[in-house]
Amino acid sequence: MSNTDGVKIRKVTDSISIFSRPFTRFGILPLGGRSIAVKLSNGGVWVLASTPPTEATKKEIDSLGHVAYIVSPNLDHHWFLTAFKEAYPSAKLIGSGQLAEKRQDLKFDGLYMKDAEGTTYGFEDDITAIPFAGTALADIAFYHKPTKTLIVGDLVYNLPNTESMPSIFNGLFKTFSPGGSIHKKLIAGSIQNRETVAAAAKAVDALDIERIIPLHGDVIDKEAHTKWKLAYAELL
């Protein structure tokens, strides 16, 4: 793992690199943020953009291949889309829900939950998307089939974020991890349509999950499927 320009870069697998950046909410909660780059089987690169595209970040991403897709996982993680699009102008920009209305300065090439059902964008051989239309942020879960990795924005938290925060926070925020009391409240508070969220949660649960990469908190690489079940136990 390297730490450059305030972003910690880690190669999770040969085809997945993550970029973790520290920040706190309310001055104490070590949420941290993360971008994720996935090398596709066709040689292109799929990027979930949620941290700045620093020079070190771009160098690592470019080592994977040519960036073909820049993705936002919900209505909240859009702050660095402009910078990534400027860095990779030929990449397709994919979002969800009402993000095009929220970010009228950007031209989206695709929007989950707005485009016709069954619309594909070109990376489906490697990555399956499961939209959570019933959440307040129009969340999407992404599943990288070759590595059995689930990639999520605000559908799962796993604090403390030791990859981007000082070790002093270790063990202090376990209630913000799957099964924790505050985690349950965060999930419950995001639900606007229980039926559709339950259906999406069950669709994810039907996958073979060996790893979960959340944008907030540590990567879950042990008992990952069990952690999903803990996070969504009331809906499964």
Q: What is the pLDDT of residue 7?
A: 84
Q: What is the pLDDT of residue 26?
A: 42
Report the pLDDT averaged over residues 15-36. Answer: 74
What domains are defined for the chain? 8-116+126-232 (3.60.15.10)
The predicted model gives 25-45 an average pLDDT of: 80
Q: With 80 as the cut, is the pLDDT of residue 92 above it?
A: yes
pTM above 0.85, yes or no: yes
**Token digits of residue 78:** 């859009």
233: tokens are: 């136990």
> What one-character DSSP code corresponds to residue 219?
-
Percent of the chain predicted with pLDDT > 90: 77
Report which residue type is found at 64.
L
pLDDT at site 4: 56
Q: Using a pLDDT cut of 70, give the percent of the chain over it.
A: 86
Residue 112 backbone dihedrals phi, psi, to 5 degrees: -60, 145
Asked if the peptide bond before residue 160 counts as cis, ω within 30 degrees of 0, the response is yes
What end-to-end distance do the CA atoms of the chain give, in Å? 36
| Residues with Cβ within 8 Å of residue 76, at least 6 apart in sequence | 137, 153, 154
pLDDT over 90 at 176, yes or no = no
